[in-house]
Structure 1
Amino acid sequence: MTARRMLITGATGGLGQALVRAALERGDRVRATGRSAERGARFAGTGAHFIPLDLVEADDRSLRQLVGGCDTIIHAAALSASWGPAENFERANVVVTQRLIDLARQSDCRRFVYISSPSIFATFKDRLLIGPQDAPADPPLNAYARTKLAAERLVIAANDDHLACCALRPRALVGEGDEVILPRLAQLARRRAMPLPGGGRALIELTDLRDAADAVMLAEDAAPQIAGEAINISGGVPASVRDIATSLARALGCAPKLVHLPRGLARVMATGMEGTARLLNRPGEPVLTRYTLATLGYSQTFDPEPARRLIGYAPRHDALATLIEDAQRRAAMGEL
């Protein structure tokens, strides 16, 4: 395979770091970008060229220099949160994506791989073996899901003979660099009581960050053949929220009391907390949001066949074991 000149946005995030490592291992010439110069310093000596840049605030000249000369753009940068002003999500997730698509065309870039999100399927019902025939939730539960779906559609619509575009939706990423799932679960595990919507019966497919990065590289390589596709990616092993929570608690030496929280009651609570936060214009995320409830209280699993058929993806790592190992490592170093 010919080495390509690759731009990876969102490189300082968990998936971004894994993507940089995977691209370098493949022999690609990597240009990486993220907002934090401090975090970007970790790429020193790796062979990746890091450019600190806020894509939302960047002017056209800076973005043109960032994209110029690249064969491939892997766009992993996003405002990823379950709460916040809608206009912030619009600028970070939709406007930035459109600007990068436009500049990719102007610079004669040939491949554009967008990192979308399974949040587009989040809703108040169990959804098992989601495949290409399954529609996103209508309406999306929050501004994050809405803008990720809008950006994904921009990317797919941009596909043509000059720019091969595809999207991947990796589910529940864990492992080295995870600053979302593990920190939140560890915080819950250390409480005296752990409320579990629906008793924690909902199924989640954790995905090792290394597997997700492998999937993205497979998609990038196959972009001309799978152009126009959006592919669901997961670790392929459903586990209940209860089992994940209790396994993590044991690994951290905690024994919280598990409290069954009926899903109907949880939905009323989440709606009320969101309404109060808006009414009082509180900046922080409510303790429970409707989106959080949908992701923890209702099952979401993916049909693995399309990813296997289209890009040859098969997960190689036990994601739950990865979560536990990462938790124990970080706890030993005082990072949790």
Structure 2
Amino acid sequence: MRVLVSGATGIVGRFVVEHLLAQGHEVVAGVRDVTTALPFSQPVETTLLSLDPTAPLPAFDGCDAFVHAAFQHVPGRYRGGEGDDPDGFRRANVGGSLRLFEAAKQADARRCVFLSSRAVYGRQPAGVLLSEDMEPAPESLYGIVKWDAEQALAALHSDNFVTAILRSTGVYGLLPGLPHKWEMLARDYIAGRPMEDRVGTEVHGDDLAAAVLLLLTADAALVGNRAFNASDLLTSHHDVLSELQQATACIHPLPEPLNKSLFSRMDTARLRSLGWHPGRNARFRADIAALAERLMSDR
């Protein structure tokens, strides 16, 4: 299968590209600059891709599928990623995305997967399980543009252009040349700075990429025009640092743990019914151990 991946050099995009390559698929990396060295383990074809609605369209020719992982935002921020330009943020991430969806369909791509977010659910009562059957109620502009883009893609679904939405939670995992999601947290802890707990749902990038491939290859009747939650663990800074403490023998105190029962988990039964099996605690522990090794080697 030949797959065009937008945002290919971003965190999620890199996990998706590497997973597709490892499974023997051909990748076209949608990038903003074709002169920049690519960070992938194997050579890939590139095509210029921008969310600017006036930019030239990428080369979808010969692609069987499109994975849309690109997102225009202020560096390091998703919620609040509009900065001081909410109109441009919406124009790029809704209008620009719709333009790419339409181009993929026009080029006879057979599948399209859009990387959305749990932010489309907005604020729900404490501890409620987030299900794909819930009516989205985003309150942040980030969640609103993701929901708008979801609806734009759904309107293009057909027997010949099978669309699917992947609503991801936070993504963690080591990538060469990029800081880990919890790297600054870990460095601050090792340095003895005061810590406060924070709870959230997380999924490893490799598991998210495996979910993308499932939606590209599963029976169209099971995935077409449907949304799928992608989440693995309900974890916290306390949990991360507890693992780090064991890996580094650091003696600094851990933050006081928060009550996790007040945070909403995501129901992933729909994705698991397709055969998705995330790495759970074993992958989490291995990842923090690898982060600890990186930090110790830098000292």
TM range (shorter): 0.7 to 0.9
Counterpart residue number, 1:330: 294
* Counterparts of residues 272-291 of structure 1 (less than 5 Å): none
* Counterparts of residues 163-174 of structure 1 (less than 5 Å): 163-174=161-172
Pick the aligned partner of 1:71 from 64, 73, 76.
64
Distance in 2, Cα, partners of 1:149 & 1:223: 24
Counterpart residue number, 1:305: 269
Counterpart residue number, 1:6: 3
1:233 to 1:176, Cα distance in 2 relative to 1, 3 A? same
| 2:72 aligned partner, one-letter code | L
The question of whether the paired residues in 2 share the 8 Å contact of 1:130 and 1:302 is answered with: yes
Counterpart residue number, 2:186: 186
The question of whether the paired residues in 2 share the 8 Å contact of 1:72 and 1:112 is answered with: yes
The question of whether the paired residues in 1 share the 8 Å contact of 2:63 and 2:109 is answered with: yes
Deviation at 1:75, TM superposition (A): 0.5
Counterpart residue number, 1:207: 203
1:221 to 1:126, Cα distance in 2 relative to 1, 3 A? same
Task: Say yes or no: does 1:56 pair with 2:51.
Answer: yes
- Larger helix proportion of the pair: 1
| Paired residue secondary structure (1:195) | coil
Deviation at 1:249, TM superposition (A): 5.6
Greater relative contact order (Cα < 8 A, sep 6+): 1
- Runs of 5+ unmatched residues, structure 2: none
The question of whether the paired residues in 1 share the 8 Å contact of 2:173 and 2:180 is answered with: no
Task: Say yes or no: does 1:31 pair with 2:28.
Answer: yes
Distance in 2, Cα, partners of 1:315 & 1:94: 30
| Paired residue secondary structure (1:169) | strand
Deviation at 1:332, TM superposition (A): 3.5
1:319 to 1:134, Cα distance in 2 relative to 1, 3 A? farther
Identity of aligned residues (%): 26
Distance in 1, Cα, partners of 2:266 & 2:225: 19
- RMSD over equivalenced CA pairs, Å: 3.0
Task: Say yes or no: does 1:148 pair with 2:146.
Answer: yes
Task: Say yes or no: does 1:229 pair with 2:230.
Answer: no
The question of whether the paired residues in 2 share the 8 Å contact of 1:14 and 1:179 is answered with: no
1:228 to 1:170, Cα distance in 2 relative to 1, 3 A? same
1:185 to 1:74, Cα distance in 2 relative to 1, 3 A? same
Deviation at 1:179, TM superposition (A): 4.7
Bigger shift: residues 149-158 or 30-39: 30-39
Deviation at 1:66, TM superposition (A): 2.2
> 1:239-277 CA distances to partner (integer Å, 9 max, x unpaired)?
34432344346646472663689x9xxxxxxxxxxxxxx
Counterpart residue number, 1:291: none
- Matched positions, count: 286
* Counterparts of residues 238-253 of structure 1 (less than 5 Å): 238-248=234-244, 251=247, 253=250
| Paired residue secondary structure (1:116) | strand
| Paired residue secondary structure (1:130) | coil
Distance in 1, Cα, partners of 2:99 & 2:159: 19
Deviation at 1:229, TM superposition (A): 0.6
Distance in 2, Cα, partners of 1:301 & 1:234: 8
Distance in 2, Cα, partners of 1:260 & 1:37: 45
Deviation at 1:50, TM superposition (A): 2.7
Deviation at 1:315, TM superposition (A): 1.0
- Runs of 5+ unmatched residues, structure 1: 264-295
Counterpart residue number, 2:86: 86
> 1:163-214 CA distances to partner (integer Å, 9 max, x unpaired)?
1100111222111236573235336534621233xxx5x4x33211111111
Distance in 2, Cα, partners of 1:42 & 1:330: 18
Distance in 1, Cα, partners of 2:283 & 2:225: 29
1:328 to 1:58, Cα distance in 2 relative to 1, 3 A? farther
Counterpart residue number, 2:196: 195
1:135 to 1:334, Cα distance in 2 relative to 1, 3 A? farther
Bigger shift: residues 11-20 or 243-252: 243-252
| 1:74 aligned partner, one-letter code | V
1:324 to 1:307, Cα distance in 2 relative to 1, 3 A? same
Counterpart residue number, 1:216: 212
1:39 to 1:245, Cα distance in 2 relative to 1, 3 A? farther
